[in-house]
Structure 1
Amino acid sequence: MIRWRKGTVVKIRREWPGAVELDVIIDEEGEARALAYPALVGRPRPGDAVLLNTTALAMGLGTGGYAMVVAVPDRFPPDPSGPGHLVKARYTPLQATVLGADEQDSAHHAILRDAESIDGMPVVVADLHSALPAIIAGLHLDRPGARVVYVMPDGGALPAWFSRTIATLREAGALAATVTVGQAFGGDLEAVTLHTGLLAARLVLGAEVAVVAQGPGNLGTGTRWGFSGVSAGEAVNAAAVLDGRPVASLRVSEADARERHRGISHHSLTAYGRVALARAQVAVPDLPGAFGDRVRTEAEPLGERHELVTVPVDGLEEAIRDSPVRVSTMGRGLDQDLAGFLAVAAAGRHAADLLGRRLDPVES
């Protein structure tokens, strides 16, 4: 289950909030990239001995292909202090205690204790973490300065610190904050469930729009139900029950080598067509040509449960290119799979349009 190795830190490559990327020498194997989360294991220094989990590195995983630092055994980080009794990554060797916005010791507990509504806030839902910068680009194109909070469930990476996308968007001012929910951790606020995460985004952080998408590292098995993106359908339900406006973004592709993800991915068709029981507005991008016709045709069955909203895509490519994050999904950049990024940016554009209207909650 875990491939354990010992190693030595050679140098610090780079760092971003919550994470440090290292070069390490793995005993009897040679040099490799490694990643450490200082809040969990302390801050490694050149020359330190480190204990590593090299499972993902050996598997050659794209988003997880690091040797992960499990401990710096000769120098432990300080003991945690202060309030907080939420345990995340529970009953694993690296379970961590955090202060939940919704727990009794939190200054926000009184606000969240009896809260039931996010007051019609648009909630843009996406399958993949790579959709986040394009959604925000589409939103800010038509609604510059809108306050966006990312609510990250635990379908992909558990530490929000793993995401350089989050760090770059925050640094650029495009993203106001992150709330990590479920077993995910490392956000500006922590919450027990997606429901309290959405409430915290709205009532504590003052979000005008929330984006819900799993962290990096989507997991799929090639089966109808066995993929972590089913959480997109569950997010629609959570947003609707809290009197929000769920906006469903479509995962589409012209370039994916897997037929099940060509046109509208089966992930979107299953999450919104089967898992989502509440009504959402599905942003259907008005793509040109035969591929656009295919997407519109494949979206039609979703109209039995949801409202299909055709969204123009003019100007979205330029907005995505101007994003502080260089977009990429499954190794494909904007030029390799333009339609996919336009589709999720269209959902951001539709959320911007909703901000200009009276925000009545969606009927579930």
Structure 2
Amino acid sequence: MSVDLSSPSVLTACPPPLATERLRPLSFDRTAPRDLVHRRAIGEVLLTDWIRHGPHRFKVGAQWPRGHGFYGPVGHRWHDPLLAAESIRQTSSLVAHAFYELPCDHPTLMTELDFSLSPHALRLDDRPVNVELTIDCTDVTLRGDLLAGMTMNVGLAWGAVRLGHGRMTLNCLRRSVYRRLRGAYAEVPVRLPEQPAPLPPHEVGRAVEADVVLGRPPAGADTTDPYEGAWPLRVNWAHPTLFDHPTDHVPGMLLMEAARQAAQRLAGPGAILAPAMTNRFHRYVEFDAPCLVRARLAMTGVGTYEVRVTAEQNGAVAYECDLVAHRAPSTSRTRR
């Protein structure tokens, strides 16, 4: 599971829209308030605007920059697909707070996040991408008058260009219930255990060690099969994107990045694009115990792959991912 624990002090809920509100275009002139998307840094906010179109139907604007400090261009050719994942994740917070009036001190639990995007539509342009997300919420459940859970079905478009679609399932808890559920783990730990040495950045499609989330395999853990591998997960609390604010467990976006880096490591030199991912978050990944990321790659065509990734901790599978990867027609080995 992946839980967002950030707690803004003030939230102004959006009133129902006027009849003309549904007719206006989305604006991309400024970012959404950081509180609504659970970010501390303005530079990490992707969302710009939001409109209600029905009881459970909404439109949200997002802008993807041509260069992001972490989710930068892939192979100097494509926008990073994880911008879509982060846009969907931020949208779940905005929709829950602005439209369903969920108090901000209620933790939200991400249990599923999927997306499938068109590689052609992700091609870089000479300007940022103004993305329109169309949200249809299903399986909306309330506990009393408070949101308890929902599934968001998301369509993504850039003007007349269809980028793809996504899906996310969200559960919501009162903070008191979350604290009872988590027990001692409800507190952010004082320090991290010693972290494993990172893999070389170029092997996982990164330019600097600080962005590497996979460690070198422990002695005796290497496999002779070039299509599978296992690496310890690395956590870096100083990372400005993955740890924009403190959290009591490993964030879901870090696990998704680990899956992509594992796929890149198995695919070998040359940047890969992962335009489709299905992600299941079964358990919390804690900071106080080693987590092993396992991956197996299968070639499905020339320069195309399917990769199965799991993250295991304390003898149980905490996270599963299936992703599709395409090799970028670029000689660059890093994403920057």
- Normalised by the length of structure 2, the TM-score is 0.29
More strand by share: 2
> Which is greater in Rg?
1
Structure possessing the higher relative contact order (Cα contacts under 8 Å, 6 or more residues apart)? 2
- Normalised by the length of structure 1, the TM-score is 0.27
